[in-house]
A and B are shown apart, each in its own frame.
Chain A
Amino acid sequence: MPKSKSAYSIPTKKQKSDTYIFVVWVDNEAGVLARVVGLFSGRGYNIESLAVAEVDAIKNISRITIVTTGTPQVIEQIRLQLTKLVPVHKVAEFKREDKNVIFKEMALFKVVGKKSKIDKCLNACKKFNPVILDETKSSAVIQITALRREIDIMNKKLKPLGLVSTSRTGAVAMTRGAQIFN
């Protein structure tokens, strides 16, 4: 190994990365999303998807759902660093494989083509509660809710059937059963 000329240490062996979903309750104020996102970019964590909206208009609370990957150590750091931000109330994190948590994303597909093609699209989406939001003689906008990778698959599948535009949200998450996260 060549001699290091750096004043910094050499990176050591990496642990395995996993996908986690963070749910962050924050004060809905100017700049709060920038603080959360800036923490991720500034410390070199990545964001696979992001969903954010106000969930309590009276208490002024927004809920941010972030899908990220990292080693267990990095994931713990993300949680602790998020908790330190002043407008953050609480932070929950779930492994993507966690059976006690529901993850969902929504996608809108615009399909252009004859009725028969559009029907084929609808049929292909059957498993994911397709809803037609708009329909003309030569087009349709179809909404589905599904997991990220399922939407990825549908996105590919519908291309030959006339899919011209896709719009999708980040994942949102909710625990199963009666408990809520505190």
Chain B
Amino acid sequence: MPKLYTGAEIVFKCLEDQKVEHIFGYPGGAVLPIYDELKNHSSIKHILVRHEQGAGHAAEGYARSSGKPGVVLVTSGPGATNVVTALTDAYMDSVPLVCISGQVPTHLIGTDAFQECDTTGITRPCTKHNWLVKDINDLSNVMHEAFKVATTGRPGPVLVDIPKDIQFAKTKYKKPKIEKKLNGKLQNRFSQNDIDELIKLFSKAKKPVIYSGGGVINSGPKASEALRELASLTGFPITSTLQGLGAFPGDDNQFLGMLGMHGTYEANNAMHDCDLLINIGARFDDRITGKIDEFSPKSKKVHIDIDPSSINKIIKVDLAIVGDVSSVLNRINKTIVISKNGNSKSNKSNIAKWWEQIEKWRRKDSLNFINSDKTIKPQHAVQRLYELTKNKDTYVTTEVGQHQMWAAQHYKFNKPNRWMTSGGLGTMGYGLPAAVGVQIAHPEKLVVDIAGEASVLMTMQEMSTAIQYNLPIKIFILNNQYMGMVRQWQELLHEKNYSESYSEALPDFIKMAEAYGCKGIKAVNPLGLDEKIQEMIDYDGPVIFDCHVDPNENCFPMIPSGKPHNQMILGPNDQEENKIKGKGKALV
């Protein structure tokens, strides 16, 4: 007779078979049997967080930086509701998460029992799929299916809700079904004809632009390699969404910088004026497109995406290629190489004029800002951080707001999976717990959370987690005492009525760091900033860096609401171009 296992044992056998090494969680009444089982499975390490939202974001950071699904374990009721923000965040940004939640025993479901909530009901709209396991015999299959759903196609979060009596009940364990390698056939619905048509568009294009997104990162490091190859074969200019940064080297001359609301002048103008737009693994988000009616009006549009429902959702495209980015790009590259009929070379001369135009836009230097020797400009702080960490294979997370955009603009990524930020949902408080997860996945690497003081206070409690597991994460706070992006919008659009966007009482971050047991560093002056950043990098342990920056700085360039890409607001240099020229003012 085969051995019988409890539900709790089955959970761990599944995790072992799915090669899970870390789970992020917080115990509670309805998951105690699973926690009781933890000690018997030495290959799985549990990371105790301080709040379930932190567990979710940490698992997101872990997943994004490693390419493996993040696993979360929480209890019923408040445990499950606390993780909802992180699940929604993962859903918006296509991050594979498997969340296991405890539930009250099956006979108590529906009776408003202690710590009961309708977890599957609450998480239905923010997961790819979820399961309430009411029969112990379903548990193994559901667990394996959960990993499959989370990691295949367009990745995303799933949740398995396991009542306490199911965790105690016994049954046989079923191993995951070994599926034949389908060579991605399930996801790839394109044909060679589509590719040929695309190549035809390539050869006709005079003003092409590649617009790549998070799908390239999700498709794995090979997709980034293929993207680089495509760019070098075609010579096309390339821009990236917030989530796609790192798929293409940020310091490469072919890279135009990020596009969208706070994208560069050259990237947005190229999007507007191009005659061929090639979207690779992005979703025409509203922060990208600006005004839909006037979005890239003169271009043929191509969309490569694994999710058929992303196609024609917002922007009608002329050619849709549904498939995994990596497979599609490899096929494109092969086809270009095979068809020696001059594509690779003659096309580059076709677009020489286009590059001249782009260089003109580039000379606007739209990320420029007026530096100061009295106060630290936030852009300057990010630039110094970049210069001092760029040779270290650094992993960067962020919170949400101005500092996030400055990080995206001024920190240049050369590899995929090095940049973790909450884009779709825009979750303040994402960066610190995400850094915890990243550091767990990459214990030897430098992990920096570029933070704002308002965001970081939302999940500050996870510093305890960092201390407990000796995670040397660096929390680099651009402290301007305001909810900066809120303040910026109020300044530009609400007649400077700074309603509730100023933090009257902020903690002393140095004392806070000491209270948690980590190092605190404070910088208020551009003089000596480099030494202090270096001190942070060199310190073997977690650091909270309180960098006091100019509170009135705005994030430019910017596409105001309801405007197309070619009507950007540029920074103060440009606005005052006639009075003081360019960088001159930096020295005043």
Residues of A within 8 A of B (CB): 3-10, 12-13, 30-31, 34-35, 38, 42, 73, 76-77, 80-81, 83-86
Interchain CB contact under 8 A, B493 and A5: yes
Interchain CB contact under 8 A, B286 and A9: yes
Interchain CB contact under 8 A, A12 and B129: no
Nearest neighbor of A5 in chain B, beta-carbon distance = B493
Q: How far is the CA of A34 from the CA of B122 in the complex (A)?
A: 11
Interchain CB contact under 8 A, A34 and B561: no
Give, as a whole number of angstroms, the nearest-CB distance from B294 to chain A: 10
Nearest neighbor of B494 in chain A, beta-carbon distance = A5
Q: Which one of A7, A12, A13, A84 contacts B561 once the chains associate, using CB atoms below 8 Å?
A: A7
Residue from B121, B309, B489, B560 whose CB has the most chain A CB atoms within 10 Å: B309
Complex interface bits, B406-425 against A, C-beta within 8 A gives 1, otherwise 0:
00000000000000000000
Give, as a whole number of angstroms, the nearest-CB distance from B147 to chain A: 13
Answer whether residue B149 sits at the interface, using C-beta atoms and an 8 A cutoff: yes
With a cutoff of 8 Å between Cβ atoms, the chain B residues found around residue A6 in the complex are 561-562
Interface Cβ pair total, 8 Å cutoff: 57
Interchain CB contact under 8 A, B489 and A7: yes
Interchain CB contact under 8 A, A4 and B561: yes
Q: How far is the CA of A5 from the CA of B495 in the complex (A)?
A: 10
Give, as a whole number of angstroms, the nearest-CB distance from A154 to chain B: 38
With a cutoff of 8 Å between Cβ atoms, the chain A residues found around residue B121 in the complex are 31, 34
Interchain CB contact under 8 A, A83 and B313: no
With a cutoff of 8 Å between Cβ atoms, the chain A residues found around residue B308 in the complex are 80, 83
**Contacting residues of chain B (242-296) with chain A, CB-CB under 8 angstroms:** 286, 289-293
Give, as a whole number of angstroms, the nearest-CB distance from A149 to chain B: 31
Interchain CB contact under 8 A, A80 and B129: no
Q: Which one of B128, B312, B560 contacts A76 once the chains associate, using CB atoms below 8 Å?
A: B312
Answer whether residue B132 sits at the interface, using C-beta atoms and an 8 A cutoff: yes
Give, as a whole number of angstroms, the nearest-CB distance from A13 to chain B: 8
Answer whether residue B184 sits at the interface, using C-beta atoms and an 8 A cutoff: no
Q: How far is the CA of A6 from the CA of B494 in the complex (A)?
A: 10
Interchain CB contact under 8 A, A38 and B124: yes
Interchain CB contact under 8 A, B124 and A35: yes
Answer whether residue B297 sits at the interface, using C-beta atoms and an 8 A cutoff: no
With a cutoff of 8 Å between Cβ atoms, the chain B residues found around residue A77 in the complex are 309, 313
Interchain CB contact under 8 A, A81 and B309: yes
Give, as a whole number of angstroms, the nearest-CB distance from B489 to chain A: 7
Q: How far is the CA of A3 from the CA of B313 in the complex (A)?
A: 27
What DSSP secondary structure best describes chain A's contact surface?
loop
With a cutoff of 8 Å between Cβ atoms, the chain A residues found around residue B561 in the complex are 4-10
Nearest neighbor of A34 in chain B, beta-carbon distance = B124
Give, as a whole number of angstroms, the nearest-CB distance from B248 to chain A: 27
Complex interface bits, B303-338 against A, C-beta within 8 A gives 1, otherwise 0:
000011101110010000000000000000000000
Given A77-B313, A83-B308, A84-B309, CB of A42 within 8 Å of CB of B562: no
Answer whether residue B125 sits at the interface, using C-beta atoms and an 8 A cutoff: yes
Q: How far is the CA of A42 from the CA of B124 in the complex (A)?
A: 10
Complex interface bits, B486-504 against A, C-beta within 8 A gives 1, otherwise 0:
0001000110000000000
Q: What are 14 A-B pairs at a CB distance below 8 A? A: A4-B560, A4-B561, A8-B286, A9-B290, A9-B292, A10-B562, A12-B291, A12-B292, A13-B293, A30-B132, A31-B124, A31-B132, A38-B125, A84-B309
Nearest neighbor of A81 in chain B, beta-carbon distance = B309
With a cutoff of 8 Å between Cβ atoms, the chain B residues found around residue A76 in the complex are 312
- A5-B494, A8-B286 provided; 16 other pairs, C-beta below 8 A? A3-B493, A8-B561, A9-B562, A12-B293, A13-B293, A30-B134, A31-B124, A31-B132, A34-B121, A73-B312, A83-B308, A83-B309, A84-B307, A84-B309, A86-B129, A86-B149
With a cutoff of 8 Å between Cβ atoms, the chain B residues found around residue A38 in the complex are 124-125
With a cutoff of 8 Å between Cβ atoms, the chain A residues found around residue B125 in the complex are 38, 42
Q: How far is the CA of A112 from the CA of B523 in the complex (A)?
A: 86
With a cutoff of 8 Å between Cβ atoms, the chain A residues found around residue B293 in the complex are 12-13
With a cutoff of 8 Å between Cβ atoms, the chain A residues found around residue B132 in the complex are 30-31
Give, as a whole number of angstroms, the nearest-CB distance from A109 to chain B: 36
With a cutoff of 8 Å between Cβ atoms, the chain B residues found around residue A10 in the complex are 291, 561-562
Q: How far is the CA of A85 from the CA of B493 in the complex (A)?
A: 40
With a cutoff of 8 Å between Cβ atoms, the chain B residues found around residue A81 in the complex are 309
Q: How far is the CA of A76 from the CA of B132 in the complex (A)?
A: 30
Nearest neighbor of B492 in chain A, beta-carbon distance = A5
Nearest neighbor of A11 in chain B, beta-carbon distance = B292
Nearest 8 pairs of A and B residues by beta carbon? A80-B309, A86-B129, A5-B493, A4-B562, A10-B562, A4-B561, A42-B125, A12-B293
Answer whether residue B344 sits at the interface, using C-beta atoms and an 8 A cutoff: no
Q: How far is the CA of A8 from the CA of B149 in the complex (A)?
A: 32
Answer whether residue B120 sits at the interface, using C-beta atoms and an 8 A cutoff: yes
With a cutoff of 8 Å between Cβ atoms, the chain A residues found around residue B129 in the complex are 85-86
With a cutoff of 8 Å between Cβ atoms, the chain A residues found around residue B493 in the complex are 3, 5
Nearest neighbor of A29 in chain B, beta-carbon distance = B131
Q: Which one of A5, A8, A86 contacts B128 once the chains associate, using CB atoms below 8 Å?
A: A86
Give, as a whole number of angstroms, the nearest-CB distance from A106 to chain B: 31
With a cutoff of 8 Å between Cβ atoms, the chain A residues found around residue B562 in the complex are 4, 6, 9-10
Q: How far is the CA of A81 from the CA of B313 in the complex (A)?
A: 10
Give, as a whole number of angstroms, the nearest-CB distance from A79 to chain B: 9
Give, as a whole number of angstroms, the nearest-CB distance from A16 to chain B: 16
Nearest neighbor of B316 in chain A, beta-carbon distance = A73
Q: How far is the CA of A73 from the CA of B560 in the complex (A)?
A: 27
Give, as a whole number of angstroms, the nearest-CB distance from A2 to chain B: 11
Give, as a whole number of angstroms, the nearest-CB distance from B421 to chain A: 18
With a cutoff of 8 Å between Cβ atoms, the chain B residues found around residue A80 in the complex are 308-309, 311
Q: How far is the CA of A126 from the CA of B316 in the complex (A)?
A: 48
Nearest neighbor of B307 in chain A, beta-carbon distance = A84
Q: How far is the CA of A30 from the CA of B120 in the complex (A)?
A: 11
With a cutoff of 8 Å between Cβ atoms, the chain B residues found around residue A13 in the complex are 293
Nearest neighbor of B261 in chain A, beta-carbon distance = A7
Q: How far is the CA of A83 from the CA of B309 in the complex (A)?
A: 9
Nearest neighbor of A30 in chain B, beta-carbon distance = B132
With a cutoff of 8 Å between Cβ atoms, the chain B residues found around residue A12 in the complex are 291-293
Nearest neighbor of A85 in chain B, beta-carbon distance = B129
Q: How far is the CA of A34 from the CA of B132 in the complex (A)?
A: 14
